[in-house]
Amino acid sequence: MTATSPTDVPAPDLATEGSEWLTRIARSAEAVVIPLIAMVSAAVLFSIFLLFLGKSPVEFFNLLWVGGYGSAFSWTNTLVRAGPLIFTALCVAIPARLGIVVIGGEGALVLGGFTAAAIAIPFLGWGAPWLIQAVMFVTAAAVGAAWIGFVGVLRHYRGVNETIASLLLFYIAVAIMNFFVEGALRDPGNPNKPSTPAIGDANMVGDIPGTDIHWGLVFAIVLAIAVWVLMNRTRFGFAARITGGNVRAARAQGLPVGRLVVVSCAIAGACAGLAGFFEVAAIQGRANASLAAGYGFTGILVAFLARQNPLAIIPVAIFLGGIAAAGGLVQRRMGMPDATVQVLQGLMFVVLLVSETLYGRLPFFRGKR
């Protein structure tokens, strides 16, 4: 960096390694600060909404804090919910790196959980717990991978819009589960709620020692880190990000775009399928309609809030898990409908997307670029 010709873009005076680091930090700070601004704005808007209804925002946010993070009990509740949110958010974030918007993670969760519960049936009574769990685990991941991988296939080979296709497949997944749960695989011992037969306490996935949180959370965190490494530190991830940035450039480079799309979708689906596995094998013990509890849809918000970064998904999932965990408390104490959390999440989502427009426009961050 000695002489600059007049046609060059005016470079910063300190074009040294130090300023490059500053730019990096400024960029990362921007990616943290702008979502934070969005969350605060959403909270303000929601407070106004509450005031209109004659409810106290102070009480609401206090209950949110108490119910989500106020005690060991609420932390347990929060972290148990954070696990599936990490899985389903990964299901959104991985294809997003290729510019693909998959919103049907809930379908892979439902079908993964259901097939895991179904495949366990012939093993019950004689199989060792580790064997049953291993078979269920692999089945859930494989079914999830096939389900969302199919979306990738449709997208690449038929040009079918993946957003619509994945959501349609969610409804189909629920129908498939209901068909079996109300029919061939219905547990006759459970007349009130149609379910598959229970896998039995002995075969359930246990808790992390000293807590009431099952191993799914640990697994989710490890998986998120692994996905981060895959997307940011491997050739596969690099190729995927090029494809997401510019498909034509990727093709010109000879990258196997179709395979990248399908494989990424399949990995994403496997993540969501595992969420279903842990819901069945660690919490419910059987598959029924409660599987479609909305984790897949909250996971979309988690992924967008984390800016599709697998590492950022972990804290964001704990944040939103806390809000979901506090939902029951808010419902009881303030007499509000169970959809309250849904409204808050929807509002957060809308405000967050509006905040996207701020990137690169805030003078504070631009000054350092």
Partner 1 sequence: MEADSNLTIVLLAMLAGAIRVSTPFLFVSLGECLTEKSGRINLGLEGTLVFGAMTAYAISYHSGSPWLGVLVAGFAGSLFGALHGYICKLPRVNDIAIGIALMLFGTGLAFFLGKAYIQPQAPRLPSIQLGGWSDNAQVQSALQINPLFLVGIALAVFLWWAFRNTRWGLIVRMTGDSAPAALAMGYSVNWVRFTATTVGGFCAGVGGAFLSLYYPGSWSEGLSSGQGLMAVALVIFARWNPLACFGAALLFGAAGALGPALQSIGVTQGYYFFNAAPYVLTLLIMIASTSPKRSLKGAPGELSITK
Closest contact distance (angstroms) between CB of 306 and partner 1 is 14
The CA distances from residue 180 to 185, 283, 367, in Å, are: 5, 20, 60
Q: Does 161 bind partner 1 (CB under 8 A)?
A: yes
| Interacting residue with partner 1 among 40, 353, 362, 369 (CB under 8 A) | 353
CA pseudo-torsion sign 236, 240, 243, 245? negative
Q: Which residue from 160, 278, 298, 262 is spatially nearest to 214, judged by alpha carbons?
A: 278
Q: Which residue from 90, 87, 130, 82 is spatially nearest to 112, judged by alpha carbons?
A: 87
Taking the least distance from each CB to partner 1, the nearer of 167 and 314 is 167
Q: Does 94 bind partner 1 (CB under 8 A)?
A: no
Burial 273-309 (b: 16+ CB within 10 A, else e): bbbbbbbbbbbbbbbbeebbbebbbbbbbbbbbbbbb
**Looking at 59-67, 173-181, 285-293, 307-315, which segment touches partner 1 (CB under 8 A)?**
173-181
**Looking at 1-9, 55-63, 158-166, 316-324, which segment touches partner 1 (CB under 8 A)?**
158-166
Length of the chain: 369
Pair of tokens at residue 16: 């040294």
| Interacting residue with partner 1 among 22, 43, 172, 329 (CB under 8 A) | 172
Q: Which residue from 133, 114, 222 is spatially nearest to 173, judged by alpha carbons?
A: 114
Rounded CA gap, 117 and 136, in Å? 7
Closest contact distance (angstroms) between CB of 308 and partner 1 is 11
**Looking at 7-15, 33-41, 283-291, 293-301, which segment touches partner 1 (CB under 8 A)?**
293-301
Q: Does 135 bind partner 1 (CB under 8 A)?
A: no
Taking the least distance from each CB to partner 1, the nearer of 153 and 205 is 153
Per-residue DSSP letters for 316-349?
A: HHHHHHHHHHHHHHHHHHH---TTHHHHHHHHHH
The secondary structure of residue 192, as a DSSP letter, is S
Q: Does 354 bind partner 1 (CB under 8 A)?
A: yes
Total binding residues toward partner 1, as defined by CB under 8 A: 45
Taking the least distance from each CB to partner 1, the nearer of 299 and 322 is 299
Pair of tokens at residue 290: 């409660």
Q: 99-128 mask for partner 1 (x: CB under 8 A)?
A: --x-x-------------------------
Taking the least distance from each CB to partner 1, the nearer of 22 and 37 is 37
**Looking at 118-126, 198-206, 272-280, 341-349, which segment touches partner 1 (CB under 8 A)?**
341-349
Question: Which residue in the block uniquely carries the two structure tokens 């427009």?
Answer: 357
Footprint of partner 1 (CB under 8 A): 101, 103, 154, 156-161, 163-165, 167-169, 171-172, 175-176, 178-179, 182-183, 297, 300-301, 304, 336-340, 342-343, 345-347, 349-350, 352-354, 356-357, 359
